[in-house]
Structure 1
Amino acid sequence: MYVMNLKRISNLFLQNIRSRFDKSPRFLSTTVLSTNKYDELYKERYATFQSKKLPKNVNMHGVFAANELDLDEVNVYGFDYDYTIACYKKNLNYLLYNLGRDSLVERFKYPKEIKDLEYVPNYTIRGLHYDIEKGLLLKLDSFLQIQLGTVYRGLTPVPDEEVLRIYRNRIIPVKYVEGDKQIHSNSRKMVQLADLFSVPEMYLLSTVTEFFNRNHIDYHPEILFRDVQNAIGSSHPVMHRIVGDHVREYIKENSNMRRFFERLVSANKKLFLVTNSPFHFVNKGMTYLCGDDWREFFDVIIVQARKPKFFTEQSRPLRIYDEKLNSHTWDRVTKLEKGVIYYEGTVKTLQNLTGWYGHKVLYFGDHPYSDLADVTLEHGWRTGAIINELTHEIETLNNEEFKKNANWLQMLTSLMEDIQDHETFESEEALQKWSKERDEIRMKMKKIFNSQFGSVFRTYHNPTYFSRRLFRFADIYTSQITNLLHYSVKHTFYPRRGVMPHEYLSYFM
């Protein structure tokens, strides 16, 4: 009897609250639906989803435009070398990791057990940030929001609650990420690892952090970061020698590379190469990709350019590299000659001696900052980004299961938008259920790109911080330079008209 009275009182209480909702002016214009009706809405929306055709596949060899670019206006093509012309096999990541790891033990006197730590491919992705102060590896979106679920201390994921406790917010202040440029670049607390050479560096950083934490060894996160950075950096000369001696093992073959350069030359385009790598390393790779006469394609070749300083410093002399003596001459460079190898210098010198200025120049590189940012912001060059990961990203986009998840995610989100202002008990119940399903779909879509960090290009719904910089500094981007062979030298790349939030319904009703 007591239990029945409690149930009766409870039911009367709920009816009273519902009657208040229904009589309130705020809710008079809102359709109030029963739980069953919300289930029906869900079924109707899902039936519509099932009746839709899946989108077409994205072109694996496409060149994508962030800004309109008319190739007919381009007279000069410039190129970086590493990961732009020469694309490397996964073996290179193993090599750099092992060299850096051994250097930590032998040069920096880290525990010898670290030599037992092995490289695991596809664990990290490009574009992550490392928090120098807190020793965390994490992924940020274009609004500087942390993508929860992608924060790691070593190889251990950090729970969302702890992340919010550490940062007190999902949004990180811009000065913390980028530093106070009016003070000094070292004022930033985070470092973005923005090129493919940093992928094995990130994993070495993660494995050593994990080793220290599991063995209860105290360490300073910034010292560890600097040591790993120096260990990997000091390993590059050894890497250059090993790769140069075994180019087939480390450089991906590209039978179209020579044809690509031949077509540009036959169209009377000028070509130049500016790379940070040493000549002997570049020479072996280019010979493998294009033949012994590869230098005939280029009007200017500059090695060990020390980018981004090449693009930012005003006075640094350009020197001639003597191939036979393997040294640099002291002669004053007053003109640039084809077939001569140059060393260091600045973009100002390059432009003054060639007359190659502004939008007539198109420069390709893989690094949004050291290759593309300064030449577009300071010198008005057009830019193209070579993003090797785009191959995997497009393969994933073309996966049928991914397409289904992506389309249903959009339609489910739209359904949630439609009922979120009903503010009834039934609508709240439906929203909670659908929100849980939405989170599960987003997690599936993240993991299909990369189990730990997801896509290089987007977080759950926003572009990544890496994407934001890429689209700001690159007019076009593609997975490999020879994809341009699918387009004429007079082709115009038109960006898709971006739909702003306030335009959406007028475009897609």
Structure 2
Amino acid sequence: RADWRAASQRVAGGKSAAQLQGPFTSAFLFPLSHLRLPDMFYLKLSHGFSSIPPGSDLIPPGACKSLNSTVIYANNEVNLSEVDIYGFDYDYTLAQYSSTLNTLIYNTARSFLVEHFKYPKDIGKYDYIPNFAVRGLHYDIQKGLLMKIDAFHYIEPGTVYRGLSPVPDEEVLQLYGGTFHVPLQQDSGFYGKVRSGPKVKQFMDIFSIPEMTLLAVANDFFNTNDIDYDPVHLFKDVSEAIGMVHLKGFMYKWRAVFLVFADKFILRAKETDSVLHRLVGHGKKLFLITNSPFSFVDKGMTHMVGQNWRDFFDVVIVQADKPHFFTDCIKPFRRLDGNGDLQWEKINSLDKGQIYKQGNLFDFLRLTGWRGSKVLYFGDHLYSDLADLMLRHGWRTAAIVPELDHETKVVSAHQYAVTLTWLQALTGLMERLQVHRDPRSKKVFDEWQKEREELRVMTKNLFNPQFGSIFRTCHNPTYFSRRLSRFSDIYMASLSCLLNYDLSYTFYPRRTPLQHEAPLWMDQLCTGCMKTPHLEDMSHIR
């Protein structure tokens, strides 16, 4: 223990790790300019990761404080006092669903594969696997591979699955011509849909998790039983089966089930009710644009808010056909009567208390006059809900990311802090050691490289054993994470997070130094308004 402290003090320029207050001053644990070659060998050979004593000074005080999952995170500065109109998607925005719904979607689509496409009945023996897939994965249609790709179009090693089995990295390199890179032209289109030609589809919404699981299960069945099949046909059939659940109304015909078991499917109903009451009470205008049919929305909103839920919204639009709603300028609005039947009259105004179907954003803007940054729209799908509104129309956008609940718990855990800290420290040691070319240094470097890969796997497994975090690969942002920062001004785990903030609150993005910038002293201390919000730090913003 004394030797460990002595080495730590030499490495840290005479300061013990306990004296290094706040987050580390760079990407690495210590100011490595003080590092001497004997210390490198000592730290690795005598005190590798596995021998770090519990509670050691490697972790500064307060590093494992619990993050508050109800925080709203800012990619761009947003002043709520400038927002007069709040817009919402329905599914996974106003209505948050439990994993029970994913199981129901999976089971229905699996039955459709067997009954309508005549797939082998033994596929029906595969139950839904709740924690197999995560949002934002890519699927190679021709190879039948599910994988995670980073923001630079590189596959993360160890995250490629054929069916339910991992594919060795060596085989992945062979399949992709000696590289982990996936060219842009092979990826799906801007909205994540497969154009004619692309070989890789990205699954961006939460509803796609049962689809990924069904693809993996079907691939696994054929591979395990050595049955020849065409992965392209399988992809199209599974997509159509899932589409039958969503588009052809199977899911919406379950409304009788929702009526009886609403509490089992819909989460945070009281919080949604509180958010709507609060916004209306402060004189804000509200609107709803959803792809779901009115009968389905009506049942859910009645459960969450009550029979008078339409009184909260100035405009309600169902079956909007997003994302085309935001780009089409031809499709007209049609009004629904109280029975849900289409009316034939021309729409010259969007009136409160009425229900409208289809339409387009250009007519919406013309009829309401709601433009620019005074509008804040909430949705869960980065492409279908948010991209066009931010890029083309200048609305403020807010992404709903329920996965934040789980991710913040993981990054608050002591095991994660210790593993990540040693991983970063080890990376810094390797950066310094690589200039030494003698055989002993080369041997130690190779050992460190191996340990670094093991630490990466450990951190990945803390989030999801197959694919890790939805926000990060080993060290880069994921493809999903990069688009989250591009298409959303703010993001949060659920709509209920709004209840923690005054409606004149300003969200400030934390200034993170670029690779060529040195951290400011205030970034090192992480104080004031730029501090990461923890559970005990939220009362002052309400």
State if a TM-score over 0.5 links the two structures. Answer: yes
Summarize the Cα distance change of 1:330–1:111 in structure 2 as closer, same or farther, 3 Å threshold.
same
Q: Which amino acid aligns with 1:53?
A: P
How do residues 360-399 of structure 1 correspond to structure 2 at under 5 angstroms?
A: 360-399=374-413
Runs of 5+ unmatched residues, structure 2? 1-32, 525-542
- Structure 1 residue 411: deviation in Å? 1.5
Q: Which letter maps to 1:409?
A: L
CA distance in 2, matches of 1:371, 1:180: 12
- Mapping for residues 136-285 of structure 1, pairs under 5 Å: 136-168=145-177, 169-178=179-188, 185-236=195-246, 237-243=249-255, 244-245=258-259, 246-285=261-300
- Residue-by-residue CA offset, 1:131-185 (whole Å, 9 max, x unaligned): 112111110000000001000111111110110001121111111124699xx93
The higher radius of gyration belongs to: 1
- C-alpha change, 1:330 and 1:51, in structure 2 (3 Å) is closer
Q: Is the 8 A contact 1:33 1:427 kept in 2?
A: no
* Cα displacement (A) at 1:261: 1.0
Q: Give the letter aligned to residue 305 of structure 2.
A: C
Which of 79, 102, 126 lines up with 2:135 in the alignment? 126
Alpha-carbon contact 2:331-2:358 (below 8 Å) kept:
yes
TM-aligned CA deviation for residue 40 of structure 1: 2.2
Give, in angstroms, the shift of residue 128 of structure 1.
Answer: 0.4
- Rounded to whole Å, the distance in 1 between the matches of 2:520 and 2:99 is 46
CA contact (8 A) 1:79 1:364 kept: yes
Amino acid aligned to 2:437: E
C-alpha contact (below 8 Å) 2:513/2:519 kept by paired residues:
no
Aligned to 1:86: 95
Distance 1:372 1:222 in 2: 30
Amino acid of the residue matched to residue 310 of structure 1? Answer: F
1:100 aligns with 2:122: no
Which structure has the highest helix share of the two?
Answer: 1
The answer as to whether partners of 1:359 and 1:380 remain within 8 angstroms in 2 is yes
C-alpha contact 1:180 1:187 (8 A) present in aligned 2: no
Of residues 52, 57, 61 in structure 2, which corresponds to 1:53? 61
Residue deviations 1:233-278 (CA, integer Å, cap 9, x gap)? 1123222222433322211143222221111112211100000001
User: Equivalent residue for 1:474?
Assistant: 488
Q: From the superposition, tell whether residues 417 and 259 of structure 1 become closer, same or farther in structure 2 (CA, over 3 Å).
A: same
Query: Per the alignment, do residues 384 and 505 of structure 1 end up closer, same or farther by CA in structure 2, a change over 3 Å counting?
Result: closer
Partner Cα distance (2:35, 2:491) in 1: 49
In 1: Cα distance, 2:400 partner to 2:165 partner: 31
The answer to whether the Cα contact below 8 Å between 2:117 and 2:237 also exists between their aligned partners in 1 is yes
- SS of aligned partner of 1:59: coil
**2:459 corresponding residue in structure 1:** 445
Match of 2:29 in 1: none
CA distance in 2, matches of 1:368, 1:179: 13
Q: 1:315 aligned to 307, 330, 341, which one?
A: 330
- Name the Cα RMSD after superposition: 2.2
Per the alignment, residue 445 of structure 2 pairs with 431
Q: Please give the per-residue CA displacement for 1:269-327, whole angstroms capped at 9, x wherever unaligned.
A: 11000000011111111111111211111000000111111111111000001232x32
Q: Classify 1:425/1:506 alpha carbon distance in 2 versus 1 (closer, same or farther; 3 Å).
A: farther
1:24 maps to none
Question: What is the DSSP-based 3-state SS (H/G/I as helix, E as strand, rest coil) of the residue aligned with 2:71?
Answer: coil
| Structure 1 residue 419 displacement after superposition | 1.8
| Native 8 Å contact 1:247 1:284 kept in 2 | no
Q: Secondary structure at the match of 1:383?
A: strand
User: Within 2, Cα distance between the matches of 1:223 and 1:447?
Assistant: 32
By how many angstroms is 1:397 displaced?
0.9
Distance in 1, matches of 2:83 and 2:36, equals: 61
Q: Measured at CA, do residues 186 and 180 of structure 1 come closer, stay the same or move farther in structure 2, by a change above 3 Å?
A: farther
2:460 paired with 1:460: no
The structure-2 alpha-carbon separation of the partners of 1:447 and 1:343, relative to structure 1 and needing over 3 Å to count, comes to same
Answer yes or no: is the 8 Å Cα contact 1:179–1:187 preserved in 2. Answer: no
Q: Counterpart of 2:3?
A: none
Q: Cα distance, 1:53 vs. partner?
A: 2.2
List alignment gaps of at least 5 residues for structure 1: 1-29
Q: Which of residues 300, 312, 320 is equivalent to 1:297?
A: 312
TM-score by length of 1: 0.89
Tell me if structure 1 keeps the 8 A contact 2:59–2:421.
no
Residues 460, 468 of structure 2: 8 Å contact kept: yes
3-state SS of 1:256 partner: helix
Name the residue aligned to 1:20: none
SS of the residue 1:349 aligns to? helix
Letter in 2 for 1:177: D
Would you say 1:71 and 2:80 are equivalent positions?
A: yes
Partner of 1:422: 436
Amino acid of the residue matched to residue 241 of structure 1? K
Q: 1:139·1:453 contact (CA, 8 Å) conserved in 2?
A: yes
- The answer to whether the 8 Å contact 1:147/1:459 transfers is yes
Describe the shift of the 1:75–1:338 C-alpha distance in structure 2 as closer, same or farther (beyond 3 A).
Answer: same
User: Whole-Å Cα distance in 2 between the matches of residues 32 and 209 of structure 1?
Assistant: 51
What residue is the counterpart of 1:18 in the other structure? none
Measured against aligned partners, the alpha-carbon deviations of 1:354-376 in whole angstroms (never above 9, x if no partner) come to: 00011111000000000000111
Report the 3-state secondary structure (helix = DSSP H, G, I; strand = E; otherwise coil) of the residue aligned with 1:319: strand
**Matching of residue 40 in structure 1 with residue 42 in structure 2:** yes
Residues in 2 aligned to 1:467 and 1:51: alpha-carbon distance in whole angstroms? 27
CA–CA separation in structure 2 for the residues paired with 1:31 and 1:253: 52
Match for 1:213: what amino acid?
N
Q: Residues of 2 paired with 1:459 and 1:194: CA distance? A: 16
Identical-residue share of aligned pairs (%): 48
Distance (Å, rounded) in 1 between the aligned partners of 2:145 and 2:329: 36
Secondary structure of 1:482 counterpart: helix
Asked whether the 8 Å contact 1:84–1:481 carries over to 2, the reply is: yes
1:78 aligned counterpart, secondary structure: strand
Q: 8 Å contact 2:74–2:508 — kept in the other structure? A: yes
Asked if 1:334 is matched to 2:348, the reply is yes
Provide closer, same or farther for how the CA distance between residues 434 and 53 of structure 1 changes in structure 2, counting only shifts above 3 A: farther
Shift of 1:32: 12
Structure 2 length-normalised TM: 0.84
- Deviation (angstroms), 1:52: 2.4
Measured at CA, do residues 431 and 303 of structure 1 come closer, stay the same or move farther in structure 2, by a change above 3 Å? same
- 3-state DSSP class of the match of 1:102? helix
Q: Distance in 1 between matches of 2:432 and 2:330?
A: 61
SS in 1 for 2:516: helix
Q: Is the Cα contact below 8 Å between 2:461 and 2:468 reproduced in 1?
A: yes
